[in-house]
Amino acid sequence: MNDLLELAIAAHGGWERWQQLRRITAHASVGGTIWQVKGWPDVLADARFEIDPHSPRTEYSVSGDTARRRSVYEPNRTALVSGDGKVIEQRESPRSSFAGHTITTRWDEQQLIYFAGYAIWTYLTTPFLFRLPGFRTEEIAPWDEDGETWRRLKVSFPANVPSHSAEQTFYFDRMGLLRRHDYSVEIMGGTSSANYATDVESFGGIVFPTRRRVFAIGPDNRPLRNRVAVAIDLLHIDVA
């Protein structure tokens, strides 16, 4: 295993503890400009997510939904499920529905579920997911930012683990903690995005950044901080 990946996994709680987990639940407040652009302003302002730590699957619910519906993401299926477990609506092969999309294309509800589901799953499982079958990692040249030098890990995602893009870059500080995460959002037609991860806390022995802010990246690989595309605040996390 790559030595930077070993350092990162140890810094975030260690592989042995991660292997003991069966689920992660998170109470989150999600905002930013992208939700207005996509036609879903404030939809995840008060949301509760539950993920499988070892396989891509996310369920979430939002406050104010008196019907107590749940949104379900899996790589090849999304669904909206009623409080008594009945499928209200679902979509097979959801990623194909984004063909031809640009940054301004509005989403239907199944597309919202797909994006939110794979994104939060990726964020809550980093860096442990990189040890799943099919992932490839390579340490690339370090990066200087905010008076620090961050080591960088280029990660290639396998086709069976949907994410923003097939190749992404993760920046870690000298302790091995995640500080920044770069990617292109392919289902939005391709973007240049820098996701900053801060305010780390330990929950049940696993260390998570509880604050994320996503900015567009300029030509010098620096963030354009005039607008926050996505803001995620993890208010509480439970691991079991």
Q: Is the pLDDT of residue 41 over 90?
A: yes
pLDDT band at 64 (very low <50, low <70, confident <90, very high): confident
Mean pLDDT of the chain: 97
pLDDT band at 230 (very low <50, low <70, confident <90, very high): very high
Q: Is the pLDDT of residue 227 over 70?
A: yes
pLDDT band at 93 (very low <50, low <70, confident <90, very high): very high
Which of the residue ranges 15-19, 83-87, 90-94 would you say has the lowest mean pLDDT?
A: 83-87
Q: Are 155 and 130 in contact (CB under 8 A)?
A: yes
What fold does the segment set 3-239 form as a domain?
A: outer membrane lipoprotein receptor (LolB), chain A (2.50.20)
Q: ∠ at Cα 24 (106, 30), nearest 5°?
A: 35
SS3 call for 40: coil
SS3 call for 56: coil
> Tokens standing for 108?
């239907």
Q: Is the pLDDT of residue 44 over 70?
A: yes
What confidence tens digit (pLDDT) does each residue in 100-140 have?
999 999 999 999 999 999 999 999 999 999 999 999 999 99
Q: Is the pLDDT of residue 1 over 80?
A: no
Percent of the chain with pLDDT over 90: 95
The whole-number pLDDT of residue 117 equals 98
The whole-number pLDDT of residue 229 equals 98
Extended beta strands in the chain, E state:
24-31, 47-51, 58-62, 70-74, 77-81, 87-92, 136-145, 148-156, 167-172, 178-183, 193-203, 206-217, 223-224, 230-239
> Tokens standing for 215?
């900015």
pLDDT band at 98 (very low <50, low <70, confident <90, very high): very high
The whole-number pLDDT of residue 66 equals 80
The whole-number pLDDT of residue 53 equals 98
